[in-house]
Structure 1
Amino acid sequence: MLEKSLSSASDMIIYDLEDSVAPSPTDKKNARNRLAHFLTRKDMPDPHRVAVRVNDISTEFFKEDISDIVALPAVRSLVLPKIHSAENLHYVSQAIYNASKRASRDTVLNIIPSIESARASWNLGAIAGWKSAHGSASGGHLTALLFAAEDYCADTSIIRTRSRLELLYTRSQIVITAKAFGLEAIDMVCVNYKDIVYLKDECIDGRQLGFTGKQAIHPAQVEVIQSTFLPTSQEVLRAAKILHGMRAAHAAARGAVGFEGEMIDAPMLKQAEKIIAIAKAAGLEIPSISS
Protein backbone atom coordinates (compact mmCIF):
# COMPACT_ATOMS: atom_id res chain seq x y z
CA MET A 1 0.00 0.00 0.00
CA LEU A 2 2.86 2.40 0.70
CA GLU A 3 4.23 1.84 -2.81
CA LYS A 4 0.81 2.33 -4.36
CA SER A 5 0.46 5.71 -2.65
CA LEU A 6 3.23 7.12 -4.85
CA SER A 7 1.01 6.81 -7.91
CA SER A 8 -2.00 8.48 -6.30
CA ALA A 9 -3.35 11.62 -7.96
CA SER A 10 -5.01 12.83 -4.76
CA ASP A 11 -4.33 16.38 -3.60
CA MET A 12 -3.06 15.01 -0.28
CA ILE A 13 -1.92 11.54 0.75
CA ILE A 14 -2.70 10.65 4.37
CA TYR A 15 -0.61 7.84 5.83
CA ASP A 16 -2.51 6.32 8.74
CA LEU A 17 -0.93 5.14 11.98
CA GLU A 18 -4.26 4.94 13.82
CA ASP A 19 -7.21 2.78 12.75
CA SER A 20 -5.37 1.07 9.89
CA VAL A 21 -2.88 -0.47 12.32
CA ALA A 22 -3.65 -3.18 14.88
CA PRO A 23 -3.68 -1.75 18.43
CA SER A 24 -0.80 -3.76 19.91
CA PRO A 25 2.35 -1.79 20.87
CA THR A 26 4.47 -4.00 18.62
CA ASP A 27 2.25 -3.45 15.58
CA LYS A 28 2.14 0.30 16.21
CA LYS A 29 5.91 0.53 16.55
CA ASN A 30 6.52 -1.56 13.43
CA ALA A 31 4.08 0.54 11.40
CA ARG A 32 5.70 3.76 12.60
CA ASN A 33 9.17 2.50 11.72
CA ARG A 34 8.10 1.27 8.28
CA LEU A 35 6.45 4.59 7.51
CA ALA A 36 9.40 6.63 8.77
CA HIS A 37 11.76 4.61 6.55
CA PHE A 38 9.44 4.93 3.57
CA LEU A 39 9.12 8.70 3.95
CA THR A 40 12.88 9.17 3.58
CA ARG A 41 12.78 8.01 -0.04
CA LYS A 42 13.92 10.44 -2.72
CA ASP A 43 10.90 9.79 -4.94
CA MET A 44 8.33 10.97 -2.40
CA PRO A 45 5.62 13.41 -3.56
CA ASP A 46 5.83 17.12 -2.78
CA PRO A 47 5.87 17.41 1.04
CA HIS A 48 2.81 19.67 0.91
CA ARG A 49 0.86 16.62 -0.30
CA VAL A 50 2.04 14.39 2.54
CA ALA A 51 0.13 14.03 5.81
CA VAL A 52 0.21 11.48 8.61
CA ARG A 53 -2.71 10.57 10.84
CA VAL A 54 -1.24 9.82 14.25
CA ASN A 55 -2.77 7.97 17.18
CA ASP A 56 -4.91 10.13 19.43
CA ILE A 57 -3.55 11.97 22.45
CA SER A 58 -5.11 9.58 24.97
CA THR A 59 -3.02 6.64 23.72
CA GLU A 60 0.45 5.51 24.71
CA PHE A 61 1.49 5.79 21.07
CA PHE A 62 0.87 9.51 20.52
CA LYS A 63 4.14 11.00 21.74
CA GLU A 64 6.26 8.47 19.87
CA ASP A 65 4.26 9.14 16.71
CA ILE A 66 4.86 12.86 17.06
CA SER A 67 8.55 12.44 17.86
CA ASP A 68 9.20 10.29 14.79
CA ILE A 69 6.97 12.14 12.32
CA VAL A 70 8.08 15.67 13.25
CA ALA A 71 11.66 14.61 12.46
CA LEU A 72 10.70 13.87 8.84
CA PRO A 73 10.98 16.82 6.40
CA ALA A 74 8.76 14.92 3.94
CA VAL A 75 5.71 15.46 6.20
CA ARG A 76 4.02 18.87 6.29
CA SER A 77 0.64 17.99 7.80
CA LEU A 78 -0.67 16.05 10.79
CA VAL A 79 -4.22 14.70 10.95
CA LEU A 80 -5.26 14.49 14.59
CA PRO A 81 -8.05 12.08 15.54
CA LYS A 82 -10.37 12.61 18.49
CA ILE A 83 -9.72 16.28 19.07
CA HIS A 84 -12.49 17.38 21.42
CA SER A 85 -11.34 20.83 22.56
CA ALA A 86 -8.81 23.62 22.21
CA GLU A 87 -7.07 22.19 25.27
CA ASN A 88 -6.38 19.02 23.27
CA LEU A 89 -4.69 21.15 20.61
CA HIS A 90 -2.55 22.87 23.24
CA TYR A 91 -1.35 19.42 24.32
CA VAL A 92 -0.57 18.49 20.71
CA SER A 93 1.24 21.76 20.14
CA GLN A 94 3.46 21.23 23.18
CA ALA A 95 4.40 17.78 21.88
CA ILE A 96 5.19 19.24 18.43
CA TYR A 97 7.25 22.02 19.99
CA ASN A 98 9.31 19.57 22.06
CA ALA A 99 9.86 17.23 19.12
CA SER A 100 10.74 20.11 16.77
CA LYS A 101 13.43 21.33 19.12
CA ARG A 102 14.97 17.86 19.34
CA ALA A 103 14.84 17.38 15.57
CA SER A 104 15.83 20.97 14.70
CA ARG A 105 12.82 21.14 12.39
CA ASP A 106 12.58 24.48 10.56
CA THR A 107 9.40 24.00 8.51
CA VAL A 108 5.87 24.67 9.75
CA LEU A 109 3.74 21.64 10.52
CA ASN A 110 0.11 22.01 9.48
CA ILE A 111 -2.50 20.68 11.90
CA ILE A 112 -5.83 19.19 10.79
CA PRO A 113 -8.09 18.23 13.71
CA SER A 114 -10.64 15.49 13.09
CA ILE A 115 -14.13 16.36 14.35
CA GLU A 116 -15.62 13.09 15.51
CA SER A 117 -17.49 13.60 18.79
CA ALA A 118 -20.38 15.52 20.32
CA ARG A 119 -17.90 17.37 22.50
CA ALA A 120 -15.87 18.45 19.47
CA SER A 121 -19.02 19.67 17.76
CA TRP A 122 -19.94 21.68 20.87
CA ASN A 123 -16.43 23.20 21.00
CA LEU A 124 -16.03 23.88 17.26
CA GLY A 125 -15.50 27.62 17.61
CA ALA A 126 -12.76 27.22 20.18
CA ILE A 127 -11.08 24.49 18.13
CA ALA A 128 -11.18 26.51 14.89
CA GLY A 129 -9.94 29.65 16.62
CA TRP A 130 -7.03 27.93 18.37
CA LYS A 131 -3.50 29.31 18.01
CA SER A 132 -0.33 27.71 19.29
CA ALA A 133 1.23 29.33 22.36
CA HIS A 134 4.60 28.57 20.73
CA GLY A 135 3.74 30.29 17.46
CA SER A 136 2.94 28.62 14.15
CA ALA A 137 6.56 27.94 13.26
CA SER A 138 7.28 25.83 16.36
CA GLY A 139 3.92 24.67 17.63
CA GLY A 140 1.93 23.95 14.50
CA HIS A 141 -0.54 25.85 12.35
CA LEU A 142 -4.24 24.99 11.98
CA THR A 143 -5.28 24.74 8.31
CA ALA A 144 -8.52 22.74 8.12
CA LEU A 145 -11.34 20.98 9.93
CA LEU A 146 -12.00 17.38 8.91
CA PHE A 147 -15.25 15.50 9.59
CA ALA A 148 -15.06 11.84 10.66
CA ALA A 149 -18.69 10.81 10.29
CA GLU A 150 -18.47 7.19 11.38
CA ASP A 151 -16.71 8.02 14.65
CA TYR A 152 -19.16 10.87 15.18
CA CYS A 153 -22.13 8.56 14.77
CA ALA A 154 -20.59 6.04 17.16
CA ASP A 155 -20.15 8.77 19.77
CA THR A 156 -23.59 10.35 19.39
CA SER A 157 -25.73 7.25 18.62
CA ILE A 158 -26.83 8.89 15.38
CA ILE A 159 -28.04 6.26 12.92
CA ARG A 160 -26.29 6.65 9.58
CA THR A 161 -28.51 6.54 6.47
CA ARG A 162 -27.93 6.96 2.76
CA SER A 163 -29.89 10.22 2.85
CA ARG A 164 -27.26 11.88 5.14
CA LEU A 165 -30.01 14.09 6.60
CA GLU A 166 -29.07 13.03 10.13
CA LEU A 167 -25.63 14.64 9.56
CA LEU A 168 -26.80 17.84 7.86
CA TYR A 169 -26.63 20.01 10.97
CA THR A 170 -23.14 18.89 11.97
CA ARG A 171 -21.71 19.08 8.46
CA SER A 172 -23.13 22.58 7.97
CA GLN A 173 -21.79 23.62 11.36
CA ILE A 174 -18.28 22.44 10.44
CA VAL A 175 -18.35 24.32 7.12
CA ILE A 176 -19.58 27.59 8.63
CA THR A 177 -17.10 27.44 11.50
CA ALA A 178 -14.20 26.63 9.17
CA LYS A 179 -15.08 29.51 6.86
CA ALA A 180 -15.43 31.90 9.81
CA PHE A 181 -11.80 31.21 10.76
CA GLY A 182 -10.33 30.98 7.25
CA LEU A 183 -9.87 27.20 7.29
CA GLU A 184 -10.53 24.48 4.73
CA ALA A 185 -13.51 22.21 5.40
CA ILE A 186 -12.95 18.56 4.48
CA ASP A 187 -16.05 16.36 4.21
CA MET A 188 -16.54 12.80 5.44
CA VAL A 189 -15.46 9.57 3.79
CA CYS A 190 -17.97 7.83 1.53
CA VAL A 191 -17.84 4.28 2.86
CA ASN A 192 -19.76 2.92 -0.16
CA TYR A 193 -16.52 2.93 -2.10
CA LYS A 194 -17.76 0.64 -4.90
CA ASP A 195 -20.89 2.72 -5.55
CA ILE A 196 -19.59 5.50 -7.80
CA VAL A 197 -23.07 6.92 -8.43
CA TYR A 198 -23.67 7.34 -4.71
CA LEU A 199 -20.19 8.79 -4.26
CA LYS A 200 -20.93 11.39 -6.93
CA ASP A 201 -24.18 12.31 -5.20
CA GLU A 202 -22.41 12.64 -1.84
CA CYS A 203 -19.71 14.82 -3.43
CA ILE A 204 -22.28 17.13 -5.01
CA ASP A 205 -24.05 17.35 -1.65
CA GLY A 206 -20.80 18.20 0.14
CA ARG A 207 -19.82 20.87 -2.35
CA GLN A 208 -23.27 22.45 -2.17
CA LEU A 209 -22.92 22.64 1.61
CA GLY A 210 -19.65 24.53 1.18
CA PHE A 211 -17.01 21.86 1.81
CA THR A 212 -13.78 22.51 -0.05
CA GLY A 213 -12.74 18.87 -0.34
CA LYS A 214 -13.54 15.31 0.62
CA GLN A 215 -11.65 12.35 2.05
CA ALA A 216 -11.19 9.27 -0.12
CA ILE A 217 -11.06 5.80 1.40
CA HIS A 218 -10.09 4.07 -1.86
CA PRO A 219 -8.01 5.17 -4.90
CA ALA A 220 -11.00 4.59 -7.17
CA GLN A 221 -12.79 7.48 -5.46
CA VAL A 222 -10.17 10.14 -6.16
CA GLU A 223 -11.10 11.08 -9.73
CA VAL A 224 -14.81 11.42 -8.93
CA ILE A 225 -14.10 13.56 -5.86
CA GLN A 226 -11.68 15.85 -7.65
CA SER A 227 -13.89 16.37 -10.69
CA THR A 228 -17.02 16.99 -8.61
CA PHE A 229 -15.43 19.57 -6.32
CA LEU A 230 -14.51 21.72 -9.33
CA PRO A 231 -16.94 24.19 -10.93
CA THR A 232 -18.83 22.73 -13.87
CA SER A 233 -18.42 24.22 -17.34
CA GLN A 234 -21.91 25.72 -16.98
CA GLU A 235 -20.97 27.33 -13.65
CA VAL A 236 -17.78 28.76 -15.12
CA LEU A 237 -19.63 30.16 -18.15
CA ARG A 238 -22.30 31.74 -15.95
CA ALA A 239 -19.66 33.27 -13.67
CA ALA A 240 -17.75 34.68 -16.65
CA LYS A 241 -20.96 36.22 -18.00
CA ILE A 242 -21.74 37.75 -14.60
CA LEU A 243 -18.26 39.29 -14.36
CA HIS A 244 -18.59 40.69 -17.88
CA GLY A 245 -22.06 42.08 -17.14
CA MET A 246 -21.02 43.66 -13.85
CA ARG A 247 -17.98 45.31 -15.44
CA ALA A 248 -20.30 46.89 -17.97
CA ALA A 249 -22.74 47.94 -15.23
CA HIS A 250 -19.99 49.53 -13.16
CA ALA A 251 -18.67 51.37 -16.23
CA ALA A 252 -22.17 52.82 -16.60
CA ALA A 253 -22.24 53.79 -12.90
CA ARG A 254 -24.77 51.07 -12.04
CA GLY A 255 -24.38 48.68 -9.11
CA ALA A 256 -26.59 45.88 -10.44
CA VAL A 257 -27.56 44.30 -13.73
CA GLY A 258 -30.26 41.98 -15.03
CA PHE A 259 -29.01 38.55 -16.09
CA GLU A 260 -31.16 35.67 -17.37
CA GLY A 261 -34.15 36.81 -15.33
CA GLU A 262 -32.17 37.47 -12.14
CA MET A 263 -30.92 40.69 -10.60
CA ILE A 264 -27.16 40.44 -10.16
CA ASP A 265 -25.44 42.65 -7.57
CA ALA A 266 -22.37 42.68 -5.31
CA PRO A 267 -22.92 39.37 -3.43
CA MET A 268 -23.45 37.42 -6.65
CA LEU A 269 -20.41 39.14 -8.16
CA LYS A 270 -18.36 37.86 -5.23
CA GLN A 271 -19.63 34.31 -5.82
CA ALA A 272 -18.75 34.55 -9.52
CA GLU A 273 -15.25 35.81 -8.70
CA LYS A 274 -14.69 32.82 -6.40
CA ILE A 275 -15.80 30.36 -9.07
CA ILE A 276 -13.46 31.89 -11.64
CA ALA A 277 -10.58 31.89 -9.15
CA ILE A 278 -11.09 28.18 -8.40
CA ALA A 279 -11.40 27.38 -12.10
CA LYS A 280 -8.16 29.22 -12.89
CA ALA A 281 -6.31 27.48 -10.05
CA ALA A 282 -7.47 24.13 -11.44
CA GLY A 283 -6.36 25.02 -14.95
CA LEU A 284 -9.90 25.05 -16.36
CA GLU A 285 -10.63 27.05 -19.50
CA ILE A 286 -12.28 30.39 -18.81
CA PRO A 287 -14.56 31.41 -21.70
CA SER A 288 -14.07 34.83 -23.26
CA ILE A 289 -17.27 36.88 -23.14
CA SER A 290 -17.84 39.74 -25.55
CA SER A 291 -20.72 42.20 -25.76
Structure 2
Amino acid sequence: MPGANTRALEKAQALPADTLILDLEDAVAPEAKAGARQAVQEAVSAKNYGSREVLIRINSLDSAWGHHDLAMAVAVEPDGLLLPKITSGDQLRQVDALLDKAGADPGMGLWAMIEMPRAVIDIREIAAAAQDTRLRGLVMGLNDLALETGALTTPDRAAFQAALMMVVMAARAWGLLVIDGVYNDFRDDPGLARECEQGRVFGFDGKSLIHPAQIETANRIFAPDPADVAHARAIIDAFALPENQGKGVIQVAGKMTELLHLQQARRLVAISEAISGAA
Protein backbone atom coordinates (compact mmCIF):
# COMPACT_ATOMS: atom_id res chain seq x y z
CA MET A 1 0.00 0.00 0.00
CA PRO A 2 1.52 3.40 -1.00
CA GLY A 3 2.26 5.33 2.16
CA ALA A 4 1.15 8.56 0.53
CA ASN A 5 -2.33 7.18 -0.17
CA THR A 6 -4.26 7.63 3.07
CA ARG A 7 -7.39 6.10 1.53
CA ALA A 8 -5.45 2.93 0.73
CA LEU A 9 -4.01 2.81 4.25
CA GLU A 10 -7.53 3.00 5.64
CA LYS A 11 -8.93 0.45 3.21
CA ALA A 12 -6.20 -2.00 4.21
CA GLN A 13 -7.90 -2.43 7.58
CA ALA A 14 -10.51 -4.68 5.96
CA LEU A 15 -8.46 -6.56 3.37
CA PRO A 16 -8.24 -10.38 3.71
CA ALA A 17 -4.45 -10.32 3.48
CA ASP A 18 -1.91 -11.96 5.78
CA THR A 19 0.55 -9.08 5.64
CA LEU A 20 0.32 -5.40 4.75
CA ILE A 21 3.38 -3.62 3.37
CA LEU A 22 3.07 0.13 3.91
CA ASP A 23 5.46 1.53 1.35
CA LEU A 24 7.65 4.60 1.74
CA GLU A 25 10.03 3.71 -1.09
CA ASP A 26 9.22 3.10 -4.77
CA ALA A 27 5.50 3.89 -4.51
CA VAL A 28 6.14 7.37 -3.09
CA ALA A 29 7.50 10.31 -5.08
CA PRO A 30 10.44 12.23 -3.53
CA GLU A 31 8.35 15.30 -2.79
CA ALA A 32 5.76 13.16 -0.97
CA LYS A 33 8.18 11.22 1.26
CA ALA A 34 7.73 13.29 4.41
CA GLY A 35 3.94 13.30 4.14
CA ALA A 36 3.86 9.57 3.51
CA ARG A 37 6.03 8.94 6.55
CA GLN A 38 3.60 10.92 8.70
CA ALA A 39 0.60 9.09 7.24
CA VAL A 40 2.18 5.69 7.89
CA GLN A 41 3.12 6.74 11.41
CA GLU A 42 -0.47 7.65 12.17
CA ALA A 43 -1.87 4.53 10.51
CA VAL A 44 0.38 2.09 12.38
CA SER A 45 -0.01 3.94 15.69
CA ALA A 46 -3.79 3.57 15.46
CA LYS A 47 -3.38 -0.24 15.54
CA ASN A 48 -6.50 -0.85 13.45
CA TYR A 49 -5.09 -3.65 11.30
CA GLY A 50 -6.24 -6.51 13.49
CA SER A 51 -4.38 -9.80 13.07
CA ARG A 52 -2.69 -8.67 9.86
CA GLU A 53 1.09 -8.49 10.01
CA VAL A 54 2.24 -4.94 9.28
CA LEU A 55 5.55 -4.21 7.58
CA ILE A 56 6.92 -0.80 6.63
CA ARG A 57 9.11 -0.67 3.55
CA ILE A 58 11.57 2.09 4.35
CA ASN A 59 13.89 3.92 1.99
CA SER A 60 17.51 2.85 1.74
CA LEU A 61 19.67 4.13 4.57
CA ASP A 62 21.99 5.82 2.07
CA SER A 63 19.07 7.93 0.82
CA ALA A 64 17.92 11.24 2.27
CA TRP A 65 14.93 9.56 3.92
CA GLY A 66 16.06 6.17 5.23
CA HIS A 67 17.19 7.14 8.73
CA HIS A 68 14.04 9.23 9.29
CA ASP A 69 11.94 6.26 8.18
CA LEU A 70 13.82 4.00 10.57
CA ALA A 71 13.33 6.33 13.54
CA MET A 72 9.62 6.56 12.83
CA ALA A 73 9.31 2.79 12.58
CA VAL A 74 11.04 2.27 15.92
CA ALA A 75 8.56 4.66 17.50
CA VAL A 76 5.39 3.01 16.13
CA GLU A 77 6.57 -0.62 16.38
CA PRO A 78 5.30 -2.39 13.26
CA ASP A 79 5.79 -6.15 13.01
CA GLY A 80 8.77 -5.61 10.77
CA LEU A 81 10.71 -3.56 8.26
CA LEU A 82 11.08 -4.43 4.60
CA LEU A 83 14.48 -3.27 3.36
CA PRO A 84 14.89 -2.40 -0.33
CA LYS A 85 17.77 -3.26 -2.63
CA ILE A 86 19.68 -5.40 -0.12
CA THR A 87 22.92 -6.76 -1.58
CA SER A 88 24.77 -8.14 1.47
CA GLY A 89 24.34 -9.58 4.91
CA ASP A 90 26.34 -6.66 6.30
CA GLN A 91 23.56 -4.28 5.29
CA LEU A 92 21.14 -6.34 7.35
CA ARG A 93 23.53 -6.31 10.29
CA GLN A 94 23.85 -2.53 10.02
CA VAL A 95 20.08 -2.07 10.25
CA ASP A 96 19.84 -4.65 13.02
CA ALA A 97 22.45 -2.78 15.05
CA LEU A 98 20.66 0.52 14.50
CA LEU A 99 17.40 -1.01 15.71
CA ASP A 100 19.07 -2.34 18.85
CA LYS A 101 20.74 1.01 19.51
CA ALA A 102 17.41 2.79 19.13
CA GLY A 103 15.72 0.42 21.58
CA ALA A 104 13.44 -1.22 19.03
CA ASP A 105 11.12 -3.96 20.17
CA PRO A 106 13.00 -7.30 19.93
CA GLY A 107 10.03 -8.74 18.06
CA MET A 108 10.38 -6.34 15.15
CA GLY A 109 11.64 -8.44 12.26
CA LEU A 110 13.57 -7.63 9.12
CA TRP A 111 12.60 -8.60 5.59
CA ALA A 112 14.89 -8.16 2.60
CA MET A 113 13.89 -7.26 -0.95
CA ILE A 114 15.87 -9.40 -3.38
CA GLU A 115 15.88 -7.21 -6.48
CA MET A 116 19.51 -6.60 -7.42
CA PRO A 117 21.83 -8.90 -9.41
CA ARG A 118 24.38 -8.97 -6.58
CA ALA A 119 21.66 -10.03 -4.15
CA VAL A 120 20.94 -13.10 -6.27
CA ILE A 121 24.65 -13.92 -6.63
CA ASP A 122 25.24 -13.52 -2.88
CA ILE A 123 21.88 -14.87 -1.70
CA ARG A 124 23.51 -17.50 0.50
CA GLU A 125 25.38 -14.83 2.47
CA ILE A 126 22.26 -12.67 2.77
CA ALA A 127 20.09 -15.54 4.00
CA ALA A 128 22.79 -16.65 6.45
CA ALA A 129 22.40 -13.29 8.21
CA ALA A 130 19.32 -14.85 9.82
CA GLN A 131 21.75 -16.46 12.27
CA ASP A 132 22.66 -13.18 13.94
CA THR A 133 20.02 -10.63 12.91
CA ARG A 134 16.25 -10.16 12.99
CA LEU A 135 15.93 -11.40 9.40
CA ARG A 136 12.62 -13.24 8.95
CA GLY A 137 12.05 -13.47 5.22
CA LEU A 138 12.94 -12.63 1.62
CA VAL A 139 10.73 -10.92 -0.95
CA MET A 140 11.44 -11.13 -4.68
CA GLY A 141 11.53 -7.84 -6.60
CA LEU A 142 11.51 -8.84 -10.25
CA ASN A 143 10.65 -5.40 -11.62
CA ASP A 144 13.94 -3.96 -10.39
CA LEU A 145 15.80 -7.16 -11.28
CA ALA A 146 14.51 -6.90 -14.84
CA LEU A 147 15.59 -3.27 -14.99
CA GLU A 148 19.07 -4.04 -13.65
CA THR A 149 19.70 -7.07 -15.86
CA GLY A 150 17.97 -6.01 -19.04
CA ALA A 151 16.18 -9.37 -19.08
CA LEU A 152 12.75 -9.52 -20.68
CA THR A 153 9.71 -10.42 -18.60
CA THR A 154 7.77 -13.21 -20.31
CA PRO A 155 4.69 -15.12 -19.09
CA ASP A 156 6.83 -18.10 -18.07
CA ARG A 157 9.45 -15.84 -16.39
CA ALA A 158 12.13 -17.91 -18.14
CA ALA A 159 14.84 -15.31 -17.59
CA PHE A 160 14.26 -15.32 -13.83
CA GLN A 161 13.57 -18.95 -13.00
CA ALA A 162 17.13 -19.66 -11.90
CA ALA A 163 17.12 -16.61 -9.62
CA LEU A 164 13.72 -17.51 -8.18
CA MET A 165 14.87 -21.01 -7.27
CA MET A 166 18.19 -19.80 -5.84
CA VAL A 167 16.30 -17.51 -3.47
CA VAL A 168 13.87 -20.26 -2.47
CA MET A 169 16.75 -22.65 -1.77
CA ALA A 170 18.57 -20.07 0.35
CA ALA A 171 15.43 -19.28 2.30
CA ARG A 172 14.82 -22.93 3.08
CA ALA A 173 18.46 -23.51 4.03
CA TRP A 174 18.26 -20.78 6.67
CA GLY A 175 14.66 -21.22 7.83
CA LEU A 176 13.23 -18.07 6.25
CA LEU A 177 9.89 -17.29 4.66
CA VAL A 178 10.09 -16.42 0.97
CA ILE A 179 7.52 -14.42 -0.99
CA ASP A 180 7.21 -14.28 -4.77
CA GLY A 181 7.25 -10.95 -6.61
CA VAL A 182 4.32 -8.89 -7.83
CA TYR A 183 2.25 -9.42 -10.96
CA ASN A 184 1.92 -5.98 -12.53
CA ASP A 185 -1.33 -6.29 -14.49
CA PHE A 186 -3.92 -6.31 -11.72
CA ARG A 187 -6.74 -6.62 -14.28
CA ASP A 188 -5.36 -9.89 -15.69
CA ASP A 189 -6.65 -12.47 -13.25
CA PRO A 190 -5.82 -15.52 -15.43
CA GLY A 191 -2.24 -14.28 -15.76
CA LEU A 192 -1.99 -13.73 -12.03
CA ALA A 193 -3.36 -17.22 -11.40
CA ARG A 194 -0.76 -18.79 -13.70
CA GLU A 195 2.05 -16.93 -11.96
CA CYS A 196 0.72 -17.88 -8.50
CA GLU A 197 0.59 -21.52 -9.58
CA GLN A 198 4.17 -21.28 -10.82
CA GLY A 199 5.28 -19.63 -7.57
CA ARG A 200 3.67 -22.39 -5.56
CA VAL A 201 5.38 -25.03 -7.69
CA PHE A 202 8.71 -23.28 -7.04
CA GLY A 203 8.09 -23.41 -3.30
CA PHE A 204 7.19 -19.83 -2.42
CA ASP A 205 5.12 -19.26 0.71
CA GLY A 206 2.95 -16.61 -0.94
CA LYS A 207 2.87 -13.73 -3.37
CA SER A 208 3.28 -10.00 -2.95
CA LEU A 209 0.39 -8.07 -4.48
CA ILE A 210 -0.15 -4.53 -5.72
CA HIS A 211 -3.95 -4.30 -5.76
CA PRO A 212 -6.79 -5.61 -3.54
CA ALA A 213 -8.36 -7.25 -6.60
CA GLN A 214 -5.48 -9.76 -6.60
CA ILE A 215 -5.97 -11.02 -3.05
CA GLU A 216 -8.71 -13.59 -3.65
CA THR A 217 -6.75 -15.36 -6.39
CA ALA A 218 -3.53 -15.49 -4.40
CA ASN A 219 -5.32 -16.70 -1.26
CA ARG A 220 -7.12 -19.42 -3.18
CA ILE A 221 -4.02 -20.76 -4.92
CA PHE A 222 -1.61 -20.61 -2.00
CA ALA A 223 -4.08 -22.00 0.54
CA PRO A 224 -3.75 -25.75 1.20
CA ASP A 225 -6.13 -28.02 -0.70
CA PRO A 226 -8.77 -29.46 1.69
CA ALA A 227 -7.98 -33.00 0.51
CA ASP A 228 -4.28 -32.44 1.23
CA VAL A 229 -5.12 -31.11 4.70
CA ALA A 230 -7.28 -34.16 5.42
CA HIS A 231 -4.45 -36.47 4.36
CA ALA A 232 -1.99 -34.50 6.47
CA ARG A 233 -4.22 -34.92 9.52
CA ALA A 234 -4.40 -38.65 8.82
CA ILE A 235 -0.59 -38.81 8.78
CA ILE A 236 -0.35 -36.96 12.09
CA ASP A 237 -2.99 -39.19 13.67
CA ALA A 238 -1.31 -42.35 12.38
CA PHE A 239 2.10 -41.45 13.80
CA ALA A 240 0.41 -40.66 17.13
CA LEU A 241 -0.99 -44.19 17.50
CA PRO A 242 0.69 -46.19 20.30
CA GLU A 243 1.73 -48.96 17.92
CA ASN A 244 3.58 -46.46 15.75
CA GLN A 245 5.57 -44.76 18.48
CA GLY A 246 9.28 -44.65 17.63
CA LYS A 247 8.77 -45.78 14.05
CA GLY A 248 10.44 -43.92 11.21
CA VAL A 249 8.27 -45.38 8.47
CA ILE A 250 4.61 -46.39 8.58
CA GLN A 251 1.83 -47.00 6.09
CA VAL A 252 -0.91 -44.39 5.66
CA ALA A 253 -3.71 -44.84 3.11
CA GLY A 254 -1.69 -47.55 1.43
CA LYS A 255 1.46 -45.42 1.02
CA MET A 256 4.80 -45.66 2.76
CA THR A 257 5.07 -42.56 4.94
CA GLU A 258 8.28 -41.34 6.60
CA LEU A 259 9.03 -38.84 9.35
CA LEU A 260 9.75 -36.17 6.75
CA HIS A 261 6.15 -36.56 5.60
CA LEU A 262 5.06 -36.04 9.20
CA GLN A 263 6.97 -32.75 9.28
CA GLN A 264 5.35 -31.68 6.02
CA ALA A 265 1.93 -32.67 7.35
CA ARG A 266 2.34 -30.64 10.52
CA ARG A 267 3.39 -27.59 8.52
CA LEU A 268 0.42 -27.94 6.15
CA VAL A 269 -2.05 -28.28 9.01
CA ALA A 270 -0.51 -25.30 10.81
CA ILE A 271 -0.96 -23.16 7.70
CA SER A 272 -4.55 -24.33 7.30
CA GLU A 273 -5.35 -23.56 10.92
CA ALA A 274 -3.72 -20.14 10.68
CA ILE A 275 -5.92 -19.33 7.69
CA SER A 276 -9.03 -20.56 9.47
CA GLY A 277 -8.17 -18.54 12.55
CA ALA A 278 -7.67 -15.37 10.53
CA ALA A 279 -10.89 -15.78 8.52
- The TM-score bracket by the shorter chain reads 0.7 to 0.9
Structure 1 letter corresponding to 2:9: L
Give the alignment of 1:107-186 within 5 angstroms.
107-130=106-129, 141-186=134-179
The normalised TM-score by structure 1 is 0.82
Structure 2 gap ranges (5+): 1-7
Structure (1 or 2) with the larger CA radius of gyration: 1
Task: Name the CA distance, whole Å, in 1 between partners of 2:252 and 2:44.
Answer: 55
Instruction: Check whether the contact 2:234–2:252 (CA below 8 A) recurs between aligned residues.
Output: no
- Picking from 87, 91, 94, the partner of 1:91 is 94
Change (3 A) 1:176 1:165: same
Change (3 A) 1:283 1:158: same
- Picking from 36, 45, 50, the partner of 2:41 is 36
Instruction: Check whether the contact 2:248–2:258 (CA below 8 A) recurs between aligned residues.
Output: no
Structure 1 gap ranges (5+): 285-291
Paired residues in the alignment total 269
What's the secondary structure of 2:179's corresponding residue?
Answer: strand
Task: Name the CA distance, whole Å, in 2 between partners of 1:267 and 1:254.
Answer: 9
Question: Bigger CA drift: 87-96 or 233-242?
Answer: 233-242
What's the secondary structure of 2:14's corresponding residue?
Answer: coil
Task: Name the CA distance, whole Å, in 2 between partners of 1:258 and 1:77.
Answer: 40
Cα displacement (A) at 1:142: 0.8
Instruction: Check whether the contact 2:18–2:52 (CA below 8 A) recurs between aligned residues.
Output: no
What's the secondary structure of 1:40's corresponding residue?
Answer: helix
**What residue number does 1:52 align with?**
56
Q: Does 1:257 pair with 2:251?
A: yes
Instruction: Check whether the contact 1:144–1:178 (CA below 8 A) recurs between aligned residues.
Output: yes
Identity of aligned residues (%): 29
The normalised TM-score by structure 2 is 0.85
Instruction: Name the Cα RMSD after superposition.
Output: 2.7
**What residue number does 1:62 align with?**
66
Instruction: Check whether the contact 1:36–1:68 (CA below 8 A) recurs between aligned residues.
Output: yes
Cα displacement (A) at 1:257: 3.1
Structure 2 letter corresponding to 1:64: H
Q: Does 1:79 pair with 2:82?
A: yes
Task: Name the CA distance, whole Å, in 2 between partners of 1:211 and 1:227.
Answer: 14
Task: Name the CA distance, whole Å, in 2 between partners of 1:156 and 1:232.
Answer: 37
